[in-house]
C-alpha cells in the first residue's frame, strides 16, 4: 500500500490580488520544471494543508496550492471580517484559479481536489477544458440538492446512520417536523446556522461554528469518533460560515450543473477515489460521475470514509498521481 511522499517546504509563497479586495494565498512546491498540478481544497473554507503536497512525487510534479476566498491565509478572512463573504461565489473561485494559472505562466495543469474541491475542480474543467491535462478527485461532491440533503436533512442520509450525533447537530435550532414538499429542512438548518454565524454575539458565533463542525468531524472517518478532531477558532468559523454562505445559495450553481455539462470534459482523463463508507459525500455521487465521464476511472476504496488521511484513500490518491504522471510523460514522448 502506497504512503504519502516525504514532507516538503514551499519553493515560494505569495498573495495574489484577484480584485474585489481579495488577496489569495498561493504556494508552490516540488520540481519547478515538473508537471503542474493544482490542489483545490475542500470546505468551502477548509484551506490548504502541508499534507496535500504529499500526494504528489515532488521530483515529478510542480505542486500548487491556494486558499480560497475568505479562508486560510487569504485576506480578508471571514472569521475577522464579514466583508470576506462579498464577491465570494463559485464563479469568483473559478476565475481565481485562472488568474493563478496565468500568473504562474502555466499553459495547462492537472487539477486535483477533495470533497468541495472536487466540485470546483469539475466546474473549472467544464469551463476551461483546454487548460486541464487530467483530474484527480477524492470524495466526490456534485453539489446537487440530494447531496446537501444526504448530509444535512433530518429524514435521510447521514442523520439516519448517526441519529445521536445529528441530535447534537440540530440542538438549539428550531427544525420543524413537517411532512410537506414545501418544507425544506436542509435549508432551514443552513439558514438557522448562518444567522447565528453572522450575528453580533461572538460567543454564539463560536459555539455555532464548533457545533456545525463537530457534526462532520465525528463522521468523516470510517473510524467514527465521539468527538471531532481539534480545530482552531479561525478554522471552525471559516468552514462553518463559508459552508452556510455557499449552500444557502445552492453552491451558486444550478441544479445538477456538473452532470448536465459533463460532456465538456469527456476527453479529459482522470481518477475518482471514493471511500465505500463515506457518509459525508455519498458514494452514489462518485458512481454517477463515472457513469457520465468515459475517461474517469472510479476506485471505491473498501473500509474507508471521507477523510483524506485514511490509508486506503492515501494509497488510491498516490497511485492515481503516479499513473497520471506516467501517462502524461509517455504522451509527451510520443510528440
Handedness of CA 122, 123, 127, 132 (dihedral sign): negative
Tell me: cis bond preceding 44? Omega within 30 of 0 counts: yes
Give pLDDT, residue 8.
98
pLDDT score of 182: 60
pLDDT reported for residue 331: 81
Residue 52 is a catalytic residue: no
- 61: which strand partners? 35
Phi-psi region of 77 (alpha: psi -120 to 50; beta: other; left: phi over 0): beta
> Based on the domain organization, do 276 and 325 belong to the same domain?
yes
| Residue, of 284 and 330, whose pLDDT is higher | 284
Q: Select from 232, 251, 270 the last residue of a domain.
A: 251
What does the pLDDT read at residue 280?
98
Look at residue 179 in the predicted model and tell me its pLDDT.
Answer: 57
Percentage of residues of the chain with pLDDT beyond 90: 91
Residue 62 CA from chain centroid, whole number: 20
Of the candidates 251, 279, 309, which is a domain's last residue?
251
Per-residue pLDDT at 70 = 98
Domain match, 187 and 246 both? yes
pLDDT category, 63, cuts 50, 70, 90? Answer: very high
pLDDT at residue 177 tops 60: no
| Strand partners of residue 35 | 61
pLDDT, tens digit, 9 for 90 and up, residues 243-301: 999 999 999 999 999 999 999 999 999 999 999 999 999 999 999 999 999 999 999 99
What average pLDDT does this structure show over 161-165?
A: 96
| Residues 39, 5: Cα–Cα separation, whole Å | 15
Is residue 280 within 8 Å of residue 306, measured between CB atoms? Answer: yes
Closest CA to 79 of 249, 251, 248, 242: 242
Domain that holds residue 262: 12-142+252-334
Mean pLDDT of the chain: 95
- Distance between CA atoms of 313 and 301, rounded to whole angstroms? 7
For residue 3, being part of any structural domain is answered with no
Phi/psi for 29 (5° steps) reads: -135, 175
Structure confidence at residue 183 (pLDDT): 73
Q: CA-CA distance, 11 to 63, in Å (whole number)?
A: 10
Domain co-membership, 279 together with 132? yes
Residue 259, domain CATH: 3.40.50.1820
- Residue 86 covered by a domain: yes
pLDDT at 56 exceeding the cut of 70: yes
pLDDT at 306 over 70: yes
> Which of 67, 147, 149, 278 is flagged as catalytic?
278
pLDDT (0 to 100) of residue 32 = 98
Known catalytic membership, residue 15: no
Q: At which of 203, 228, 251 does a domain end?
A: 251
Phi-psi sector, 250: left (phi>0), alpha (psi -120 to 50), beta:
left
310 lies in some domain: yes
Average pLDDT over residues 181-209: 92
Report how far apart, in Å, the C-alpha atoms of 176 and of each of 47, 159, 193, 275 are: 34, 15, 15, 32
pLDDT band at 226 (very low <50, low <70, confident <90, very high): low
Of the listed 22, 153, 306, 321, which one is catalytic? 306
- Whether residues 61 and 197 fall in one domain: no
In a domain, 1, yes or no: no
Summarize the confidence of residues 215-224 as an average pLDDT.
91
Cell of residue 254, nine digits: 444550478
In a domain, 7, yes or no: no
* Burial (CB count <10 Å: 0-12, 13-18, 19+), residue 4: middle
Looking at the structure, do residues 33 and 81 belong to the same domain, yes or no?
Answer: yes
Mean pLDDT in residue range 121-136: 99
Please report the pLDDT score of residue 180 as a whole number.
56
Q: Which of 48, 74, 115, 308 is catalytic?
A: 115
Q: Which of 306, 295, 258 is nearest to 142 (CA)?
A: 258
What is the tally of structural domains in the chain?
2
Closest CA to 223 of 312, 323, 320: 312
User: In the predicted model, what is the mean pLDDT of residues 15-21?
Assistant: 98
Give pLDDT tens digits for 89-121.
999 999 999 999 999 999 999 999 999 999 999
Can you tell me which residue has the cell 468527538?
227
Q: N- to C-terminal Cα distance for the chain?
A: 33
Res 175 pLDDT > 90: no
Q: Is the domain of 278 the same as that of 174?
A: no
159 is catalytic: no
189 within a domain of the structure (yes/no): yes
pLDDT for the residue 223: 83
Does 44 reside within a domain? yes
pLDDT of residue 225: 72
| Contact by Cβ (8 Å): 12, 63 | no
Q: How confident is the model at residue 224 (pLDDT cuts 50, 70, 90)?
A: confident
The C-alpha cell that represents 289 in the structure block: 460521475
Among 186, 170, 147, 144, which residue's Cα sits nearest to residue 279?
147
Amino acid at each position: 500500500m502506497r504512503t504519502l511522499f516525504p514532507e516538503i517546504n514551499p519553493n515560494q509563497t505569495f498573495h495574489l490580488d484577484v480584485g474585489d479586495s481579495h488577496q489569495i494565498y498561493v504556494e508552490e512546491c516540488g520540481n519547478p520544471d515538473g508537471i503542474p498540478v493544482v490542489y483545490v481544497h475542500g470546505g468551502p473554507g477548509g484551506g490548504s494543508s502541508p499534507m496535500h503536497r504529499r500526494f504528489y512525487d515532488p521530483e515529478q510534479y510542480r505542486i500548487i496550492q491556494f486558499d480560497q476566498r475568505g479562508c486560510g491565509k487569504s485576506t480578508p478572512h471571514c472569521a475577522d471580517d464579514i466583508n470576506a463573504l462579498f464577491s465570494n461565489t463559485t464563479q469568483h473561485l473559478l476565475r481565481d484559479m485562472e488568474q493563478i494559472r496565468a500568473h504562474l505562466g502555466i499553459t495547462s495543469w492537472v487539477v486535483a481536489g477533495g470533497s468541495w474541491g472536487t466540485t470546483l475542480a469539475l466546474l473549472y474543467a467544464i469551463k476551461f477544458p483546454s487548460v486541464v491535462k487530467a483530474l484527480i478527485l477524492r470524495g466526490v461532491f456534485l453539489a446537487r440538492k440530494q447531496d446537501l440533503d444526504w448530509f444535512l436533512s433530518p429524514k435521510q442520509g447521514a442523520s439516519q446512520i448517526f441519529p445521536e450525533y445529528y441530535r447534537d447537530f440540530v440542538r438549539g435550532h428550531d427544525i420543524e417536523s413537517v411532512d410537506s414538499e414545501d418544507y425544506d429542512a436542509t435549508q432551514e438548518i443552513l439558514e438557522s446556522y448562518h444567522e447565528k454565524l453572522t450575528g453580533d454575539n461572538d460567543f454564539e458565533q463560536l459555539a455555532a461554528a464548533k457545533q456545525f463542525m463537530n457534526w462532520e468531524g465525528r463522521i468523516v472517518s470510517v473510524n467514527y469518533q465521539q468527538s471531532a478532531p481539534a480545530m482552531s477558532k479561525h478554522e471552525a468559523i471559516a468552514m462553518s460560515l463559508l459552508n452556510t454562505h455557499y449552500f444557502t445559495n445552492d453552491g451558486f450553481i444550478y441544479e445538477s450543473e456538473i452532470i448536465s455539462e459533463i460532456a465538456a470534459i469527456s476527453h479529459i482523463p482522470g481518477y475518482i477515489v471514493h471511500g465505500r463508507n463515506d457518509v459525508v459525500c455519498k458514494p452514489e455521487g462518485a458512481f454517477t460521475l463515472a457513469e457520465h465521464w468515459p475517461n474517469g476511472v472510479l476506485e471505491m476504496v473498501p473500509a474507508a470514509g471521507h477523510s483524506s488521511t485514511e490509508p486506503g484513500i492515501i494509497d488510491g490518491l498516490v497511485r492515481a498521481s503516479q499513473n497520471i504522471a506516467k501517462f502524461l510523460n509517455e504522451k509527451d514522448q510520443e510528440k
